[in-house]
Chains A and B, each alone.
Chain A
Amino acid sequence: MRIKRYGVGFAALAVASALVLTGCSGGGASTPTTSANTTAIITTNGSEPQNPLIPTNTNETGGGKITDNVFAGLVYYDEKGAAVNDMADSITTTDSTTFTIKIKSGEKFTNGEEVNADSFINAWQYGALLSNAQLNSYFFEDIEGFSYDADSPLTGLKKVDDLTFTVTLTAPHADFPLRLGYTAFMPLPAVALTDVAAFGENPIGNGPYMLAKTGAWQHNVQIDLVSNPDYTGGRKAQNGGLTIKFYASADASYADLQSNAVDVIDQIPDSAYQTYTTDLGDRAVNQPAAIFQSFTIPGRLPHFSGEEGQLRRQAISEAIDRDTITKVIFEGTRTPASDFTSPVIDGWSDSIEGSDVLKYNADDAKALWAKADAISPWTGTFQIAYNADGGHQGWVDAVVNNLKNNLGIDASGAPSPTFAQVRTAITDRTIQTAFRTGWQADYPGLFNFLGPIYATNAGSNDGDYSNPAFDALLTKGSSESDTAAANKDYQDAQAILFKDLPAIPLWYSNVTGGYGTSVSNVHFGWNSVPLYYEITKN
């Protein structure tokens, strides 16, 4: 959090001084400039959505950037990741299991239809139904009635009146309201479900922006959004619209930024890591994001279970020089990890018990490894599997060199040509090495970094980690109604992870980006996406 607040303070200062400066120089001619500001179109980078623009089927950033701006859910996330009511008037619960949700009256989709309880219930029912095969269906798995085995309606959703409905979960989840800002929980107008394919091409939403016209999505080129005059929530657009240009490479978008052909980009190409801060000056952005990078060592690998496994995992973690790797290989665009979550998340701490194993300590690493050898001598090669099409080779080589030099063992990277290949081997458990893992948070809560990955039998528990004490703390945290108490439980749970190290934390990815001279008030949200609605054009 600390790092981020500095960044925000700086940006706020810059914006404030910019406002003062323009105020001084604007003088008498300010009226036409101001009116031009609110109609100006902001351009930004994006990528061609991989799926139709249905919120429950959008799980990647290319589509998410569009759906998050075209739709408005019950809550939205502010810059720091706090949930603020958007369509919701109130979300209340007494037991963290049943939630009563009241919707603001008078909210409309851009086709004039009212946003009511049915808009949410029907959208969620559609998203959860097995045969609809929605990529985000797992977001509904905590709601009563959800099933992966057969088509089954969400019996936990009950309409009370036009603007009120209740959600019943199978177990207490105090952070459920926090999840509701994620794309999967957006409402849909009735017309969406009559022809999903057509809707996915020309979505009708209720968010701060709407499609400029039918066919505004020009595939592989760009999508044109204009501000939605009927939107009344906290994300009211301060500009006339948003054009998201689809780039095949980060290099192309960076060249466009340099020639002022695009206003804001949220990705700096590797080739410009060394130069972008000098190229852009104070218009360069580099701040931690809600992305956690690690590599997972499955417990089924020989030598990596029980006490021997704990010692070896700690030795490996202490043998990695995270500071140097993030500086030299990533040019400071990664931040060394100090826990299992991310510094942008409320409740993050860099002083959890046991987090010392993330500090580089070659001597201790060697001693720990020797201790493990006393239990059972090490044989073979330690390998880290990664996909060669994702630019991972540099850091994997650096990490295995650390292990070779500091532990005196044979270690190497194990590249697979494609992402699909390595993910398939991980998913069907045929992989026989450690492997690269990463997690980008769906919603800004500590639980999202822990529950889905390390809880027993959790969906993305690729290393098949299981520790009852850890599970118990997660359950306890989920049922706490007080956020601070819950965060304490999640920190205690991480103390267990630091002993067991099911995955070796490496670093947090930063969001790197920049903006042109013609725009101001550019802030990046907790999820690394710029808050487009705030941006103004000079």
Chain B
Amino acid sequence: MAGYILRRLLQAIPVFIGTTFLIYFMVFALPGDPIIALFGDKTPNPAVVAQLRAQYHLDQPFVVQYLIYMGGIFRGDFGISFSGQPVTEILARTFPVTLRLAVIALLIETIAGILVGMVAGLRKGKLFDGTTLAISLILISLPVFVIAFVAQFVFGVQLGWARTTVGEGAPTIDLILPAIVLASISFAQIVRLTRSSVIETSSLDFVRTAYSKGLGRGRIIPVHILRNSLIPVVTYLATDFGVLLVGATVTEGIFNVPGVGNTLYQAIIRGEGPTVVSFVTVMVLIYLLVNLAVDLLYGLLDPRIRYVK
């Protein structure tokens, strides 16, 4: 087990170097000069532009720029944004917000999704099942920004139940509405996954055996059916957590959440190389770790799965 984890972690190193190089190259290859764009519609003096380029090492060839950047990373220096803040500070400020948003969304979609999916699966073909099927279809087919705008208008502007945008310090209560919006689409997926998995498990022999040996539904459903139905759901949840963690640009933009997606979007628009590369690098690392965690979770849920050294 330990050897397996170690090997997976070692694999992350070339992935890390490869992604930073690729992302850095992509930002470098973006057409247009970000320094000229800093001046808006006004045309800057070439001498001032040259000074600024030198300040951000933009006058160096690509490989030199990349090496300067990587050298900084190993000293814990992720570069400086155009507004003069160290990128590490920006990371430290935005990731906790996105993490909280992701955890709330994950909790909502897990609890609601599994409950509704289980009931629907147990009452296959009944009214409840049909209704959830229809609702989940609608949720899956709606683009997230539609859900977000409607939720913001109805609950924020008209009913006044929630703040329209996230306030100072991103208090958790403000994050609930955006989290519900984020959770809505995954919720539909989880309902459908849980439902089909519950139906499949319910028809297996060991469930029939449990019933025939006289066990009550109160024990069979949670322990025998649900636990064995959860493997595909957990896989989905874990990858979804990864997706949520790397930021939901659209939703964060609509609710003005000062999180990762929002910040990264602004940085891309401005062509701020160091910010974009550092953010994406951290996202890649998170994704790698989450994937590793998923693979390990399989073993806990299903004892038949073993890891070879």
Contact = CB atoms under 8 A, between A and B. Distances in A.
A200 B83 CA distance: 9
8 contacts: A51-B83, A51-B84, A59-B39, A138-B48, A148-B45, A148-B46, A261-B165, A440-B41
A49 interface: yes
Contacts of A255: 152-153, 156-157, 164-165
Interface string A199-222: 011000000000000000011111
Given A255-B153, A422-B32, A222 B168 contact: yes
A247 B48 CA distance: 30
Contacts of B258: 220-221, 246
Given A52-B84, A261-B164, A423 B47 contact: no
Given A50-B83, A130-B47, A248-B265, A423 B36 contact: yes
Interface of A: 48-52, 59-60, 130-131, 133-135, 137-138, 148-149, 197, 200-201, 218-222, 245-249, 251-253, 255-256, 258-259, 261, 389, 416-427, 437-440, 452, 459-462
Given A51-B83, A220-B258, A462-B43, A259 B156 contact: yes
Interface residues of B, number: 55
B30 interface: yes
A452 B43 CA distance: 9
A207 to B, nearest CB: 20
B93 interface: yes
B256 A247 contact: yes
Contact of B43 (A222, A418, A420, A426): A426
Interface stretch (B9-17, B69-77, B104-112, B247-255): B247-255
B48 to A, nearest CB: 6
B157 A51 contact: no
Contact of B255 (A252, A421, A452): A252
Identify the 3 closest CB pairs spanning chains A and B, nearest first. A420-B32, A421-B32, A133-B51
Given A252-B253, A419-B37, A130 B51 contact: yes
Contacts of B41: 423, 437-440, 460
A50 B267 CA distance: 10
State the main secondary structure of chain A at its contact with B.
mixed
Given A59-B39, A256-B164, 14 more contacts: A50-B82, A51-B82, A131-B51, A133-B48, A148-B46, A255-B153, A255-B164, A255-B165, A258-B157, A416-B31, A419-B37, A420-B32, A424-B31, A459-B43
B271 interface: yes
Given A138-B45, A460-B43, A259 B36 contact: no
Interface string B261-300: 0110110011100000000000000000000000000000
Contacts of A419: 32, 37
Nearest to A54: B84
A438 B168 CA distance: 34
B86 to A, nearest CB: 10
Given A219-B85, A259-B160, A460-B42, A420 B51 contact: no
A382 B94 CA distance: 46
Interface in B115-136: none
B164 A258 contact: yes
A402 to B, nearest CB: 23
B48 A148 contact: yes
A425 B43 CA distance: 11
Contact of A420 (B37, B152, B170, B254): B37
A389 B266 CA distance: 12
